[in-house]
Amino acid sequence: MGTDGRLLKGERTRRTILGRAADIASAEGLEGLSIGRLATELRISKSGVFTHFGSKEELQLATVDRAVEVYREHVVVPALGVPEGLGRVRAVLAAWQRYQREAVFPGGCFFYSAMAEFDARPGRVRDAVVASQRRWEDFLERCLREARDLGEIDADADVAQLAFELDALCRAGGARAVLCDEPAAYEHAARAMEARLAAVAR
């Protein structure tokens, strides 16, 4: 096998490891990850897993990065296919709720788990989780700002506040639906978000 073939195989193995790691972490937390467990479950040598990550912390950081990629694929990219304005804002929120409903990760939203696990634990993993959430908030604010600039929402609307409220409503609906096995919570959240948008729409 040539160098390119080995690199391709190595990248496939890495993605397989990270896919399983993200699934585990969504249900059991990032502390539930271990190189030994992944090696056993995926039938890969420990040294093979270690070669890709080197330490548990590096594995956790790479898992956060993989979860960000998955979230972007399911939520951000579909929304970018919709023209700027309120239509895109609604598309973002609808895609987020689909991501929640479809249980892309078996434990529910990866970031609910990671945020609860690391909210008061300083370190590189917490920093990575915080950075991922900042990027998401910035994206949601940008979408709202575009709608405001197009004259689709009130010119004096507080975009940062509006983004915070929409984010909180969607998170609450998803968390309650999973925790209480209450699918209606998604609809409650959707109606609350639409009412909030309607209040500032022009």
Whole-angstrom distance, CA of residue 12 vs CA of residue 110: 22
**pLDDT above 60: residue 52:** yes
Q: What contacts 1, CB < 8 A, 6 or more positions away?
A: 9
pLDDT digits (tens, 9 = 90+) for 163-175: 999 999 999 999 9
Residue 50 has pLDDT above 90, yes or no: no
Other beta carbons within 10 angstroms of residue 2's beta carbon come to 7
Q: Is 87 left (phi over 0), alpha (psi -120 to 50) or beta?
A: alpha
Tokens 């990219």 locate to 77
Q: How far apart are CA 110 and CA 73, in angstroms?
A: 14
CATH architecture of 57-200: Orthogonal Bundle (1.10)
- Which tokens belong to 140? 């949601």
pLDDT, averaged across the chain: 93
pLDDT higher than threshold 70 for residue 48 = yes
- pLDDT per residue over 110-158, tens digit each? 998 899 999 999 999 999 999 999 999 999 999 999 999 999 999 999 9
pLDDT surpassing 90 at residue 9: no
Q: How confident is the model at residue 7 (pLDDT cuts 50, 70, 90)?
A: low
Q: Does 43 score more than 70 pLDDT? A: yes
Tell me what pLDDT residue 4 has: 62
Residue 5 has pLDDT above 80, yes or no: no
pLDDT of residue 108: 84
pLDDT value at residue 103: 84
pTM for the full model?
A: 0.90
Q: Does 77 score more than 80 pLDDT?
A: yes
pLDDT over 90 (residue 201): yes
